[in-house]
Chain A
């Protein structure tokens, strides 16, 4: 196991370097941050050169990258063009996004798995067909559409919730944004659970369990579910990183000043230090989540644990 973890960690390095470098290139090479800083006014050449030197922009791209990464790993994420340290932005943004992601993961796991089990066990019946149609529809509605529609219905028309989230963003205000963020994944979790249940339902070991005279509940929960949920749990695990990266739309709709909001602002204003800093952390979160999922997989499935 130890060797495996080390090997996975080593495999993560090129992926980390590649992903962050790609983003770095896009951010720095495609747009001129100094020009963006000054907007429409033409900067004074001397000032511009000074800023370029300060930001290490007068070096070749790869040197800028290594310099920047070295800074990050010393805990120095630089300063946004607004003068605010990026670390400070992160301190306010990350807790919001983490809370939002937690809500989304809980929603997607609980509702998705329950719906998937129900429809999988009633394969071919009307409940199953209904759930399948519902998941197709949910997958087809882009997040920004469902977000606005649900915000309009619950927040404006029926007044059940506050249409935008307050700066403190307590969990109860994040319920609706969490559902919106989770919706598409929720549909996948449902379908994945259903497929997995259907596949395992005919498995020999389920027939054995029935032949052993186990009560139906025990056959389902101890034998069928244990096996069927392995791929579901791994999907949810990998989804953690994806949800954080995808929170841009949800956070914009509900005016949550989380990671997605900061990134969006950073990109529109070509605020490179903010963008690269946040992206670097996102990529790390994503890679670590994947590593944990692999380990979790090994814990859940003994065939892999002892392979």
Chain B
């Protein structure tokens, strides 16, 4: 299969008043056409920053890519000219944000914001662009699209707004979509519908999808493979079903154990002890060691490499074998 996106050894840091925050420290992942990669992790794990670096929308300053390369359809994005990079954005790679209410411009109608994609990238007239906007709204199943195309974001419900966000990302049928927590801000009842719509459109258009989330429940249904991030590194990658059966990293195991389950009713809920490290002071050795139930002396001194656990599976844990078996 064609590799659509290939991120190699990416390092991103934020130079702030209080010091240098190492947000991403050597991330590798790849996505193929038609494939869904779920990137999992707590807030501050670097999952969104990686995505912003891929999209080229990192706030800079203070954010800087200090090392690594990003290949998209074979081209090295980081060496592309700014204008060429811009033409890719929105047209061939697009992004869906978490909070559609703040991500949509409050003073422009949704029709104008959708149509803008066609005006800018395809050179359509405003009238044609508006017609395409109505089509898009129909496609993401917004009722009475024709009447509502001139409405403003605040006039839609949360679910409808996120559909508009999706429509905007899908507008030019890009090859890659990055969805950053697309359902987190929504009511539970609406979450499933929006996720379903996203998965359906992805299948239809055979797009690569990077789904950034902290919700393991969402992942199981739609993802092909998973990358778990912790303190700016990928600690485990695996095909989705294997990871649920037997995680190879204590952090992943902790995440899975902390999902409440009906059959454990009455028992105390599991929680990973401690807090994620400050990105200004990542502990030496394995970043997870202060919170890890299996940590040994070696974890405090040596940073574990990404061990190949099985075909298409890797874990950055000195004790991956023990974790797999336990």
Indicate whether A and B are direct neighbours in the complex (CB within 8 Å). yes
Instruction: Check if B106 is an interface residue, CB within 8 A of chain A.
Output: yes
Is A202 in contact with B59, judged by CB distance below 8 angstroms? yes
Q: Return the chain B residue nearest A212 by Cβ.
A: B90
| B170–chain A nearest beta-carbon distance, Å | 12
Q: Is B75 an interface residue (CB 8 A)?
A: no
B275 to chain A, nearest CB (A): 26
Query: What's the minimum C-beta distance from A175 to chain B, rounded to whole angstroms?
Result: 34
The verdict on B64 contacting chain A, using a C-beta distance below 8 Å, is: no
Q: A213-B120, A226-B108, A227-B106 are in contact. Are A303 and B152 (CB under 8 A)?
A: yes
**What 0/1 readout, one digit per residue, does chain A (201-226) give for beta carbons within 8 Å of chain B?**
01111011111111100100011001
Cα A224 to Cα B97 in complex, Å, equals: 18
Q: How far is the CA of A202 from the CA of B94 in the complex (A)?
A: 19
Q: How far is the CA of A301 from the CA of B108 in the complex (A)?
A: 9
Q: Kindly identify which residue among A202, A205, A218 contacts B103, using a CB–CB cutoff of 8 Å.
A: A205
A102 at the interface (CB under 8 A from B): no
B117 at the interface (CB under 8 A from A): yes
Complex contacts, B55 vs chain A, CB 8 Å: 211
* CB of A300 within 8 Å of the partner chain: yes
| A306: Cβ under 8 A from any B Cβ | yes
Q: Which of B90, B97, B154 contacts A213 (CB 8 A)?
A: B90
- Asked whether, in the complex, the Cβ of A204 is within 8 Å of the Cβ of B99, the reply is yes
A303 CA / B88 CA spacing, docked (Å): 32
Residue from A215, A227, A230, A300 in contact with B105 in the complex, judged by beta carbons closer than 8 Å: A227
How many angstroms between the C-alpha atoms of A204 and B168 in the bound complex?
15
Which B residues are in CB contact (< 8 Å) with A230? 107
A223 partner residues in chain B, CB cutoff 8 A: 105, 108
Does A14 sit within 8 A of B, measured CB to CB?
no
The number of chain A residues touching the other chain, given as a range, is 20 to 34
CB distance from A303 to the nearest CB of B (A): 5
A2: interface (CB < 8 Å):
no
The range of chain B's interface size is 20 to 34
With A301-B107, A306-B152 as contacts: A210 and B102 at CB distance below 8 Å: no
Q: A204-B102, A302-B152, A306-B155 are in contact. Are A213 and B88 (CB under 8 A)?
A: yes
Q: From DSSP, what is the main secondary structure of chain A's interface residues?
A: helix
Query: Closest Cβ of chain A: how far from B178's Cβ, in Å?
Result: 9
Q: Which residues of B contact A227 (CB under 8 A)?
A: 105-107
Q: Considering the chains assembled together, what is the distance between the CA atoms of A263 and B116 in angstroms?
A: 54
A303 to B168, CA, bound (A): 21
Residues of A within 8 A of B3 (CB): none
**Residues in A whose Cβ lies below 8 Å from that of B107:** 226-227, 230, 300-303
Task: Give 1 or 0 for each of A274-305: 1 = CB within 8 Å of chain B CB.
Answer: 00000000000000000000000000111100
Q: Is the CB of A213 within 8 A of B105?
A: no
| CB of B241 closer than 8 Å to a CB of A | no
A211 touches B57 (CB 8 A): yes
**B105 touching A210, Cβ below 8 Å:** no
Given A205-B105, A306-B152, A214 and B97 contact (CB-CB distance below 8 Å):
no
Given A226-B107, A301-B106, 8 more A-B residue pairs with CB atoms under 8 Å apart are A204-B103, A205-B105, A207-B57, A213-B120, A214-B116, A215-B120, A302-B107, A302-B152
- Interface residues, chain B, with chain A CB atoms under 8 Å away: 55, 57, 59, 86-91, 94-95, 97, 99, 102-109, 116-117, 120-121, 152, 154-155, 168
Ordered by A's residue number, 30 sampled pairs between the chains whose C-beta atoms are within 8 Å are: A202-B59, A204-B97, A204-B99, A204-B102, A204-B103, A205-B102, A205-B103, A205-B104, A208-B104, A208-B105, A208-B168, A209-B105, A211-B55, A211-B89, A211-B94, A213-B89, A213-B121, A215-B86, A223-B105, A223-B108, A226-B105, A227-B105, A227-B106, A230-B107, A302-B152, A302-B154, A303-B107, A303-B152, A303-B154, A306-B155
